[in-house]
Amino acid sequence: MNRRAAVTLTGLLTTTLLLAGCGGDDADTADGGAEAGAADHSSMDVMAMNDPDATPAYDVDGAAEGAFTVLDSAPPGSEDVAGEAWLAQDGGTTVSVELSGLEPGATYMAHLHAEPCGTDDGGPHFQFEVGGEEVPPNEVHLGLEADDEGNATATTTNDREVGDGAPSIVVHPTDLPDNRLVCADF
């Protein structure tokens, strides 16, 4: 394989991994051989879903707010994960998340989900076009990277309002994308 093809393949793989989300298969093992302990996604890939220059949702008047609760499916050792999420709609959608009690240095993905936390732990991902692409901008995703203290915060935006179609947000470890760690109802 020539170098250009290899680079393209790497790009495709990265994209596939990013897109896996909580509905993905076990694509998270596709790049096996990555350094031990590191998530399969580089933090840059995960954080690329964010909009760090946006006004955080908690600074937008009228934003909905929800507290995260640890789900039964969370990995052992997750009992202390806590935090809040905010959902603002003002022509578009802004979502901000603050979490503590995470594994220092670990990366996580959060998605708006289509059901409340009490219904199948948030049910499927919220989608503007149901059955459409499982990635932004048809879904609302954000990436989180825990600092040395286990804290993480992030904001993401979408050009469209989700309306009342996204009652919850679920956080997943990027190395266990099918796992549901915490959920917050807005």
CB of 185 to Cu ion, least distance (A): 14
Position 171 contacts Cu ion (CB under 5 A): no
Question: Cα Rg for the chain, rounded, in angstroms?
Answer: 16
Q: Does 170 bind Cu ion (CB under 5 A)?
A: yes
Give alpha helix (H) positions in 107-181: none
- Asked whether 104 and 147 are in contact (CB, 8 A), the reply is yes
Binding mask 32-71 for Cu ion (x = CB under 5 A): ----------------------------------------
Contact stretch for Cu ion (CB under 5 A) within 4-12, 52-60, 99-107, 109-117: 109-117
Residue 5, exposed/middle/buried by CB under 10 A (0-12, 13-18, 19+)? Answer: exposed
Size of the site for Cu ion (CB under 5 A): 3
Q: How far is the CB of 1 from Cu ion (least distance, A)?
A: 34
Give the Cα-Cα-Cα angle 184, 17, 35 (nearest 5 degrees): 100
* The one segment of 31-39, 49-57, 79-87, 106-114 that binds Cu ion by CB under 5 A: 106-114
Pairing of strands 141-145, 152-158: unpaired
Query: Interface with Cu ion by CB under 5 A: which residues?
Result: 22, 111, 170
